[in-house]
Amino acid sequence: VDLPAKGLPALLVTAVPSVSCGQPVTMGDQHQVHVWENTYIMAPKDNEKFLPSKVTAIIKSVMENYLADKEYIPEDAKIWTLDLSNEIKASVKQDCNIPRYKIIVQVVIGEQASQGIRVASKCLWDVSADNWASYTYENQSLFAVGMVFGCYYE
């Protein structure tokens, strides 16, 4: 395997033979070696940016469909937060063209009891590429806040 010229960083990864129907795949007597080099892509393309308006619409759709007929039950709310987080993350990845983003989803569900609540988060990120979106759902017995953070991989 030829390595890049001196001064150019590269990451060498030795591939482990994959198992297909119980038979390891090898190339002769040697394992395949991949050489990965930096892409030097430091910012997202214009058509691959995290758009909060689009993500907010996805959060709204998922939360309204999932929580439409739900009554607040503390034991069930724990499961709902995980289900909603997974559904929102899958929908954002499927519907938005943001391939180099790390998607983080946080969902808070609580009982509607005429109380006040403030949900906040703090993060250090690149304001030119990273972004966030949120949506708050309410019905007679519960409230839910869904937050999605998109952090760009450089």
- For residue range 81-99, list pLDDT tens digits in order: 999 999 999 999 999 999 9
What is the end-to-end Cα distance of the chain in Å, rounded? 27
Predicted confidence at residue 27, as pLDDT, reads 55
Per-residue pLDDT tens digits for 25-65: 555 557 788 887 888 888 898 899 999 999 999 999 999 99
Per-residue pLDDT tens digits for 9-24: 444 444 444 444 445 5
Which is nearest to 145 in space by CA: 113, 123, 119? 119
Average pLDDT over residues 138-154: 93
* Collapsed DSSP state (helix, strand, coil) of residue 68: coil
